[in-house]
Amino acid sequence: MTTPKFCAACGGALAAGGRFCPHCAAPVGAVAPGAAPAAAFPGPSRPATPVLPWAIAALAVVGAIAYSIGSRRLQPLPGELAGAGGSVPASGPNIVLAPDISSMTADQRVDRLVARVVALDSAGKSDSVAFFAPMAVDAFAALEPLTPARRHDLARVLVAAGDL
């Protein structure tokens, strides 16, 4: 190995055969301050890819998907709004609306509630029956005096609710 002619630390001239620099007393062959040996930092095996542009692009795609799902309008099936009793507002979204019971007669309200309670009872949905049965019983109060057919309907609702 040949000895260098100049000090790596201060750049001063070195004496032949000397082991230390006469100017700064640094050992000959020492690495300059702030410099690292080549083997200490081998460097990345591949260049670093920029993450920020990919993260922004991913957020934009997720946002676009969320916006398209959120703004999707539900389209009613043909004839679904036929018995609703009301009309869909022209400027509003096309969403299936619940029937407007304020425009129904007392007989129509009772018929709908009895049909719903009986259907829910036959489907085994006792929690829904417990919710709709009191409404049906209250609707019968508007039909006084009750006809025999209406008494039968009231009895069916009470049996479904477990009150009879």
pLDDT in tens, 40-87: 555 556 666 788 888 999 999 999 998 888 777 555 555 555 555 555
**Quick one: pLDDT band at residue 95, thresholds 50, 70, 90?**
low
CA distance 149 to 49: 79
Integer angstrom CA distances of residue 52 from 58, 101, 106: 10, 56, 64
CA distance 112 to 120: 12
| Residue 57 confidence (pLDDT) | 93
Note whether 84 and 99 are within 8 A (CB): yes
Percent of the chain with pLDDT over 70: 68
**Quick one: pLDDT band at residue 93, thresholds 50, 70, 90?**
low
Q: What does the mean pLDDT of the chain come to?
A: 77
| Residue 69 confidence (pLDDT) | 82
Residue 32 has pLDDT above 90, yes or no: no
| Residue 10 confidence (pLDDT) | 83
Note whether 135 and 113 are within 8 A (CB): yes
Integer angstrom CA distances of residue 102 from 12, 20, 124: 103, 104, 29
Percent of the chain with pLDDT over 90: 24
